Amino acid sequence: MVTRSTLVPFFEPNWGSVIRIGFWCLLFLWLFGKAVPPLPERIPLQSATASALVPMLTIFDDHRTVRDDYRPDSKKLHIAWISDSSGVVSPQDVKLSQMSASDYDLIPSHVAADLQKRHALRDFDMPLYLRLGSRPLDNLVFALRALQDKPDLIVMNVNPVWTFGHYQIMNQSTSLNLAPSVWATMPSLWYMIPLFCSPAENLWALVGRHVDILREALPFKDYLEQKYEASLKALGVYAGPAPLVLGVPLLGIKFWIVENILHGDASGVLDKTGKLNAMLYDVQLIRRSAPGDDRSFATIAFHDLLDALKASGVPVLIYAHPVSDFFYDNPDTNTKIKAMQDFLAQTNDRLKGSRIRIISSIPEPVRKSIAFRKNDGYHAAIDPTKFDDYLADQIWLMLRDSGKLSPPEAKKP
């Protein structure tokens, strides 16, 4: 008679069976992935870009983070731009929470057009790593990813609200699947991998991104839903493609600021009429920033970023994004902004001899020319022409001084 005791030795799990099951799972997933047809990318901000711009980041639910279909053209200059929402121009008459992709305009898009018109720069592309809600660690990830394509120049902005803040140094929905693979290229960053990335994110970096059906899971899901749209709608299980989410949920951030920074007293983010004011949220964060404080992890991440960029030998232009008079009129934020500018100026002095240039503050006539959204933080409301022109000029100078331009392009038009 067969009893449970006689069956256990034959069916008791062991490491050999776990490895065998994992092997067969990966094999079948790999074979299934080979049957997946070429899939179109779904890229936010595609409609808001100039012809030279290439938006590189996929939608939030896409585990890849960065699109797969872009390959730099060796015959063109390659200018990579890393930015957060500071690079977005948005109209005053549309609420940020209600904006669609067609409502957004981009500073990098205008700068690309200026490079073509003001400086007769023709053969270049501008891969754009712009994600709303990017934080210091996200920008470190995107910069390291951009370096993999061996750009001729990297452009980055410093955000006065988030870059040196103690709070939310990463946005988990943006980059951490990509983080382990890019941090692994620099031994000095290895400590970040177990510190910030979950086991699932590390597993994705090791296995998922190499298996087609896992890497392209979201595009494949969209492909199947579109192919069988009629049947799915008839069954009542499909309402159309997911929207291209551009922003990040703000409710949690605002709740966290009120509860943790203001200890439950929301009066610090209310204007004189008693309404919530987004600029006052930024005030709370800027007041608690710590530029130059080596104990702050945001500052540590900034130094790690500079070390990685310096080691690459790639020319880099970093600029402090300008803010409106509102923040200069507030004594607390004015002090912090000037402290940030001083720290950036000192850092730029220490980097002399490298290929990194930091613009610690935008000239006042340029800053004054920018119209900012009222009661909505530092987002520019209309086309900031002088700012676009200024950035285009600085990029052209960096390309010229680093020897990246041909003789006709290096002459001032």
Percentage of the chain beyond pLDDT 90 is 39
Question: CB count, 10 Å around CB of 13?
Answer: 8
Q: How far is CA 229 from CA 71, 130, 219, 234, in A?
A: 32, 31, 15, 8
- Single out the residue of 225, 250, 216 nearest to residue 97, CA to CA: 250
Residue 248 has pLDDT above 60, yes or no: no
- The whole-number pLDDT of residue 244 equals 59
- The whole-number pLDDT of residue 396 equals 96
Residue 246 has pLDDT above 80, yes or no: no
- The whole-number pLDDT of residue 47 equals 60
| The amino acid at 326 | F
Question: What sign has the CA pseudo-torsion 269, 327, 289, 55?
Answer: positive
- The whole-number pLDDT of residue 249 equals 55
pLDDT tens for each residue of 315-367? 999 999 999 999 999 999 999 999 999 999 999 999 999 999 999 999 999 99
Candidate from 51-55, 92-96, 218-222, 385-389 with smallest mean pLDDT: 92-96
First to last CA, the chain: 95
pLDDT tens for each residue of 300-318? 999 999 999 999 999 999 9
Answer for the pair 82, 129: CB distance below 8 angstroms, yes or no: yes
Average pLDDT for 163-191: 86
| The amino acid at 362 | I
- The whole-number pLDDT of residue 6 equals 55
- Host H or E run for residue 125: strand 124-130
Q: Could you tell me the pLDDT band of residue 49, with boundaries at 50, 70 and 90?
A: low
**CA distance linking residue 171 with residue 109, whole number of Å:** 24
**CA distance linking residue 337 with residue 340, whole number of Å:** 5
pTM of the model: 0.87
- The whole-number pLDDT of residue 93 equals 75
- Which domains, and CATH codes, for the chain? 47-207+246-405 (3.40.50.1110)
Question: What's the mean per-residue pLDDT of the chain?
Answer: 85
Within 13 Å and on the Cβ side, how many CA atoms surround 407? 0
Average pLDDT for 168-191: 86
Residue 10 has pLDDT above 60, yes or no: no
- The whole-number pLDDT of residue 96 equals 63
